Structure 1
Amino acid sequence: MQQVLNGLTLGGIYGLVALGLTLVYGILHVPNFAHGAFYMVGAFVAFHAMNAWGLGYWLAMLVAAGVVAAMAVVSERLVFTPLRNASGIHPMVAAIGVLLFLEAAAQALWGADFQRMQTPYTSIIDLGGVTAPAQRLLIIAAAFALMVALHLFLTRTVVGSTIIAMAQNRDGASIVGIDAQRVAMLTFAISGVLAAVAATLYAPINLVYPAMGHLVITKAFVIIILGGMGSIPGAIVGGLIIGFAESFGAYYISTDYKDIIAFVLLVVILSMRPEGLFAKRGR
């Protein structure tokens, strides 16, 4: 049960990051490597807001979400929109450029040292013999509540339906009157909010440093490939699969190999179902 708790914690964080990544993939149809940098910037902004400005944890999270959402929208307008009709490799290289630029900027502003973010939720709760730090319970509750809210937004609102329509067929959505530019900006903003919230939730039990987005975004790519590129349910389930696999793998095998488990699962699952778990089979 202790490993179930750890798996839900990791799965919640990975799922949030993968959701933002798969939403952007539905619009760009290219891997957005800059998403890892948005995750990192979200953690640094929240850390700075708490330490330099004296803001509370939740207010710092809101500030980080707003800053990263604005940054994601700016990157969409200045970097990705001009490359809309370019071949797939050009937006990919541009995304890597944004990633490297933001990492260098973070290192210049906050330094290369590892930082520890404080949290007001430091208590330990005993759940029938399971040691449950309050921050981990907060991560599980907040992450899955946000996933449910996003699902309801996409399926129950007109604006959410336009995002799904754009992901399915950008040209067709434009023909029926959907403003493609506005939807693209909104999608990037949502992805930035998800990345910033995930980073602020996870930073108190991890460390904050300029390269912190590398491993997270790599695993997020594994998740959306496992779940099916562009599949929102696949991103959630894939995040849980990787979270539980890492948690139980670290416990029963070794913590030295827990980061490799995600890629072993990728090979195993794709060898049996190359299109991913939730992708629709072609006819």
Structure 2
Amino acid sequence: MIEILQQIVNGIAIGGVYVLIALGLTTVFGILGIAHFAHGSVSMFGGYLTYLLVASLGVPLVGAVAIAVIVGLLLGAAIEFLAYRPVRDANPINAFIVALGLTMMVEGINLQFFGAEQVVIPTDAGHIYDIVGVTIPELRLYVIFSAAVLVAAMAIFVERTKTGQAIRAVAENRDAAILMGVNVNTISLVVFAVSTALGVAAGVMVGSLFAIAPGIGEGLVIKGFAVLILGGLGSFPGAVIGGIVLGVTESLAAGFISSAYKDVIAFVVMIIVLLVRPQGLLGKA
């Protein structure tokens, strides 16, 4: 039982990263219908930038994360304006090609500016807590807490602000929202900026918990889309539940079967859910 609880705690930490990735993806997909494949690579850019600020320039971690998130906001807005807006009303295959091109471009930028070496973001969170036999590293607690705060902030933003109401209106019926005076261009810009900032936060968490290296971004975005399918496309609560389920499943599989099969087990669970409930756990039929 102790080992099960240990793996669940570990799974919740990595699940928090998946949730942040999935929230960015589901917001973009639910409103604009764009599969933003470059999201994982952009997240890794945020992690690399944080590492550079902390390890090379001596910026405190909190300040480095704040700078990276601000850069993420600006980068997301630039991606929407320069890459996706010109093809928004074109054939969907155009946005698909743009997304693949962006992925390769951002990966190339990461390699050019940050190199191919695996790096870990240094932190001072080295304490380990022992709670009824379950060991919980201080860093994992920070990750879980930070993910929870960001999810709550995103929920408040979407549900309680005028911009959030406009976002939900565009997601529900774009044409009706335009007729009611909603500026779709502005909403698209905000959606990409916020989703990229969430992705940057996830990249920082990955870089602190594990490591950042070329290729990790692609794997991360695949997990993000797996969470979307598991929780239900376009569902905010579904992304949260799906991310935690996927993270815990992976952790249990790694702990009791083999870490080599954790990805396989996670996707088997996703396939089973789709067979039983094709729209996902909380998606609409």
RMSD: 1.0
1:275 positional shift = 1.4
SS in 2 for 1:126: strand
Output the amino acid matched with 2:10. N
1:276 positional shift = 1.4
1:97 positional shift = 0.5
Q: Which moved more, 1:133-142 or 1:44-53?
A: 44-53
Instruction: Indicate the residue corresponding to 1:210 in structure 2.
Output: 214
Q: Which moved more, 1:122-131 or 1:237-246?
A: 122-131
Output the amino acid matched with 1:221. F
Instruction: Indicate the residue corresponding to 1:279 in structure 2.
Output: 283
Instruction: Indicate the residue corresponding to 2:17 in structure 1.
Output: 13
Output the amino acid matched with 2:77. V
Task: State how 1:92-107 maps to structure 2 within 5 Å.
Answer: 92-107=96-111
Between Structure 1 and Structure 2, how many residues are aligned?
281
1:164 positional shift = 1.0
Q: Which moved more, 1:135-144 or 1:45-54?
A: 45-54
Query: Is residue 172 from structure 1 mapped to residue 176 from structure 2 by the alignment?
Result: yes
Query: Is residue 127 from structure 1 mapped to residue 164 from structure 2 by the alignment?
Result: no
Instruction: Indicate the residue corresponding to 2:199 in structure 1.
Output: 195
Question: Unpaired runs of 5+ in structure 2?
Answer: none
Matches of 2:202 and 2:119 in 1, distance apart? 17
Instruction: Indicate the residue corresponding to 1:238 in structure 2.
Output: 242
User: Do 1:68 and 1:193's aligned partners in 2 also have CA atoms closer than 8 Å?
Assistant: yes
Question: Unpaired runs of 5+ in structure 1?
Answer: none
Output the amino acid matched with 2:270. L
User: Do 1:17 and 1:220's aligned partners in 2 also have CA atoms closer than 8 Å?
Assistant: yes
User: Do 2:76 and 2:197's aligned partners in 1 also have CA atoms closer than 8 Å?
Assistant: no
Matches of 2:156 and 2:246 in 1, distance apart? 24
Identical-pair percentage: 36
1:262 positional shift = 2.3
Output the amino acid matched with 2:32. L
For residues 15-43 of structure 1, give each alpha carbon's deviation from its aligned partner in whole angstroms, at most 9, with x where no partner exists: 01100110011222121101111111110
User: Do 1:18 and 1:239's aligned partners in 2 also have CA atoms closer than 8 Å?
Assistant: yes
Query: Is residue 116 from structure 1 mapped to residue 120 from structure 2 by the alignment?
Result: yes
1:128 positional shift = 2.0
User: TM-score by structure 1 length?
Assistant: 0.97
Query: Is residue 31 from structure 1 mapped to residue 35 from structure 2 by the alignment?
Result: yes
Query: Is residue 155 from structure 1 mapped to residue 159 from structure 2 by the alignment?
Result: yes
For residues 209-248 of structure 1, give each alpha carbon's deviation from its aligned partner in whole angstroms, at most 9, with x where no partner exists: 2322111110110110111111101100000110111011
